Amino acid sequence: MIISMKPDARREEIEYVCERIREYGYKVHSIQGEQRVVIGAVGVGDVTACLESLEALPYVEKAVRISAPYKFVSKEFNPGRTVISFDGLTIGGEEFVMMAGPCSIENERQIMETATAVAEAGALVLRGGAFKPRTSPYDFQGLEREGLKLLAKAREATGLAIITEVMSDRDVDLVAEYADVLQIGARNMQNFALLKTLGKCGRPVLLKRGMSSTIKELLMSAEYVVAHGNPNVILCERGIRTFETATRNTCDIAAVSVLNELTHLPVVLDPSHATGKRSLVPPLARAGVAIGADGLLVECHPCPEKAVSDGAQSLDIAQFRQMMRDLQPYLELWRASRIPEPAAV
């Protein structure tokens, strides 16, 4: 922690700040600058409380933490990569994981047709929403348990693993019964009651970045899940909210690289929500592979213009196949970058 005092802070005010810092369990180093005193606090203590309380003092200009606020998810804790296994797959390692499927599960025919098609085209995981977070109470809210059962059927038929969203801590057990990976939507990234429950769910969790959440906040939310007992968290960049309206969100693609520097957890990209527009999905998918994401989450529907939700951003099946074909050379470069070079003889 670094605390900079106001230029006109008096000696006894500086001393009071030093005392308060010591009370929180830190050692104090103070530096007399040209214009002001700057105090360094060294040690281990309740950083947030200390920072916020010091900033309450009128003669303190700013209090800044130096160490990262997360621990288990940091590269400092684990400088390698976390490889998560489920249903015979791994993510975070040498396997690139394409997850695809409709926004909402609508009926058996739709989900089976999509599952078969995306499996054939090379997807490893089937996505599909049974519980749907909808902005309007009047929009389709999902098939709930019925939808979960259809996902299970599709898994049986195709061998695909299943990822689906859970929206409330009440439903975690139910969803964990059917899904291989539990998805947390952007709007729930800071639903802390839900995050705590996920710590105990026994399944990998895919955590989507909130639409106005910083990378640091995303890592803090992952830290909630890990600190409550579940180390298997996959992070997902899905676009953030900015002033630009040409796309549904603004894909912060560099976040993939920033996360790779800060954390050992796998990172995937969702080009469908990031753009909101079908024609933009394939080029952004290419960019996601090139920048080194561990997988992609792509919306695909047999007949997007009849979808109950997200039709505008869903690929149809022919388009999905075409995208998979076009990605192949990029995936080969991706794999070459992941496979450790053989040791020289």
Q: Give the SS3 label for residue 290.
A: helix
Of positions 15, 19, 25, 66, contacts a second copy by CB under 8 A: 66
Site membership for a second copy, residue 12 (CB under 8 A): no
**Spatial distance between the Cα atoms of 130 and 277, rounded to a whole number of angstroms:** 22
Q: Which of 157, 158, 165, 173 is nearest to 103 (CA)?
A: 165
Total residues at the site for a second copy (CB under 8 A)?
110
H-only helix segments in 67-135: 108-121
Q: Give the SS3 label for residue 235.
A: strand
Residues in 16-35 that interact with a second copy by CB under 8 A: 20, 29, 31-35
State the minimum distance, in angstroms, from the CB of residue 155 to a second copy: 25
Q: 17 Cβ partners below 8 Å, 6+ apart? A: 3, 5, 39, 54, 57, 59, 60
User: E strands within 102-187?
Assistant: 125-127, 161-165, 181-184
State the minimum distance, in angstroms, from the CB of residue 205 to a second copy: 14
- Binding part of the chain for a second copy, among 88-96, 143-151, 154-162, 207-215 by CB under 8 A, reads 207-215
| Tokens of residue 254, six digits | 């560099």
Residues in 157-186 that interact with a second copy by CB under 8 A: 167-171
Residues in 257-296 that interact with a second copy by CB under 8 A: 257-258, 261, 274-275, 278-280, 283-284, 286-292
Residue 271 pairs in a beta bridge with: none
**Spatial distance between the Cα atoms of 319 and 316, rounded to a whole number of angstroms:** 5
Contact of 207 with 184, CB cutoff 8 Å: yes
Residues in 314-343 that interact with a second copy by CB under 8 A: 314, 329-330, 333
Residue 30 pairs in a beta bridge with: 39
Of positions 11, 56, 343, 345, contacts a second copy by CB under 8 A: 56
State the minimum distance, in angstroms, from the CB of residue 156 to a second copy: 29
Residues in 128-147 that interact with a second copy by CB under 8 A: 133-140
Site membership for a second copy, residue 200 (CB under 8 A): no
| Tokens of residue 335, six digits | 């794999």
| Binding mask of the shown chain, residues 87 to 126, with x at each position contacting a second copy by CB under 8 A | ----------------------------------------
Site membership for a second copy, residue 214 (CB under 8 A): yes
Site membership for a second copy, residue 256 (CB under 8 A): yes
CB atoms within 10 A of CB 207: 25
